[in-house]
């Protein structure tokens, strides 16, 4: 098959995928999104003959728009625009999980400083304020007092971008110093790991220690349901242990897996390519 790898920077994740694809004899078109122009009718020449495109754009804005163009051109893309749209926005993400009956942290959205303070005071301290768009734990704040809340909200009010006027407030979940990342394809886990840190943020990008995790039946059920809720595809599902169960706080559509690949015995890029091959075979049969 011919695979288009859509990127703006080649990181270790992309190198792992490229190596696996080439080792299997697949043709790869590396497509730097910064070099392309997208018209309304026909795809750029770089996408000619591509069986499937894997979206690895770093910038959310590029990912959201390019996947819409590819859908319009009927070029298969992982992940589809509808999935990217839900996963890239924490509000849409939370709403999708709630509609699907997936346990997720209590969340409210407000649009002014005063109404956000009402929510925060009702939630109690600590609680969490997150940007509606973002990754790697950036611009997230654990709010431990009213004075801290007022300062953070004042900063958001003066930042100017409309997304900072959407104030996403979430309960603080007392987790056991770690969370769980599961990488899944169409709801089927490939591999999972815990991310542990003394800091309340346990993102691998912030230096959390990672360790292999074996999903139990409940985790598998939640991952499958959460995947369906956002439209399926190649996803990273993030869970926290809460009491005697789990809560899903986020589903990621351009999931990184280099840390996971180092933590587990599973060949993660190999499993991703297995799935891509299956998708292309199924699409080819469907057009016959």
Alpha carbon distance 49, 29 (integer Å): 10
Q: Dihedral sign, CA of 96, 99, 104, 107?
A: positive
pTM: 0.92
Task: Express each pLDDT in 246-278 by its tens digit.
Answer: 999 999 999 999 999 999 999 999 999 999 999
Residue 205, both tokens: 């990008």
CATH architecture of 174-270: 2-Layer Sandwich (3.30)
Beta carbons of 191 and 271 less than 8 angstroms apart: yes
**pLDDT computed for residue 283 by the predictor:** 57
The beta-strand segments (E) located in 49-144 are 52-55, 77-78, 107-110, 127-130, 141-143
Task: Express each pLDDT in 203-229 by its tens digit.
Answer: 776 778 999 999 999 999 999 999 999
Which numeric CATH code is attached to 2-86? Answer: 3.40.50.20
Beta carbons of 29 and 50 less than 8 angstroms apart: yes
**SS3 call for 170:** strand
> For residue 90, how many other CB atoms are within 10 A of its CB?
20
Tell the burial category of 269 from Cβ atoms under 10 Å away from its Cβ (0-12, 13-18, 19+).
buried
CATH superfamily of 107-171: ATP-grasp fold, A domain (3.30.1490.20)
Task: Express each pLDDT in 10-42 by its tens digit.
Answer: 999 999 999 999 999 999 999 999 999 999 999
Domain coordinates in residue numbering, the chain: 2-86, 107-171, 174-270
């Amino acid at each position: 098959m011919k695979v288009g790898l859509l990127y703006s920077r080649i990181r270790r994740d992309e190198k792992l995928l490229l190596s696996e694809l080439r080792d299997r004899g697949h043709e790869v078109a590396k497509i730097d999104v910064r070099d392309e122009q997208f018209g309304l009718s026909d795809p750029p020449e770089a996408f000619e003959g591509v069986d499937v495109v894997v979206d690895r754009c770093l910038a959310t804005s590029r990912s959201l728009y390019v996947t819409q163009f590819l859908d319009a051109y009927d070029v298969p893309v992982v992940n589809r625009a509808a999935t990217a749209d839900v996963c890239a926005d924490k509000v849409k993400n939370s709403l999708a999980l709630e509609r699907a009956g997936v346990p997720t942290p209590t969340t409210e959205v407000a649009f002014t400083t005063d109404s956000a303070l009402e929510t925060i005071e009702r939630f109690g301290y600590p609680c969490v304020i997150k940007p509606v768009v973002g990754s790697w734990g950036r611009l997230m704040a654990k709010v431990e007092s009213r004075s801290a809340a007022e300062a953070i909200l004042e900063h958001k009010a003066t930042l100017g971008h409309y997304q900072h006027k959407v104030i996403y407030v979430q309960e603080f979940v007392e987790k056991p110093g770690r969370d769980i990342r599961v990488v899944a394809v169409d709801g089927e886990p490939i591999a999972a790991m815990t991310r542990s840190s003394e800091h309340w943020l346990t993102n691998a990008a912030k230096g959390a220690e990672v360790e292999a995790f074996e999903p139990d039946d409940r985790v598998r059920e939640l991952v499958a349901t959460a995947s369906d809720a956002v439209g399926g595809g190649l996803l990273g599902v993030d869970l926290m242990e809460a009491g005697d169960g789990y809560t899903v706080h986020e589903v990621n559509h351009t999931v990184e897996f280099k840390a996971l690949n180092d933590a587990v015995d599973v060949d993660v890029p190999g499993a991703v390519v297995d799935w891509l091959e299956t998708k292309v075979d199924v699409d080819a049969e469907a057009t016959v």
